[in-house]
Amino acid sequence: MLVNVQQQTIEPLIQAMIRPGTQVYSDEYGIYGRLCEWGYEHRTVCHGRGEYARDEDGDGLHEVHVDTIEGVWSLLRSWLRPHRDLFQEKLPLYLGFFQLVHNVRIRGKGLLQPLLSVLWRNSPESMKSLIEKVGLYD
pLDDT at 94: 81
Cα(42)–Cα(37) distance, rounded to whole angstroms?
Answer: 10
pLDDT tens readout for residues 1-33: 567 788 888 899 899 989 999 988 888 888 889
Q: Could you give the residue ranges of the DSSP H alpha helices within the chain?
A: 7-17, 67-80, 91-104, 112-122, 124-134
**What one-character DSSP code corresponds to residue 17?**
H
Global pTM reads 0.54
pLDDT tens readout for residues 25-82: 888 888 889 999 999 999 888 888 888 888 878 888 777 777 777 777 788 888 888 7
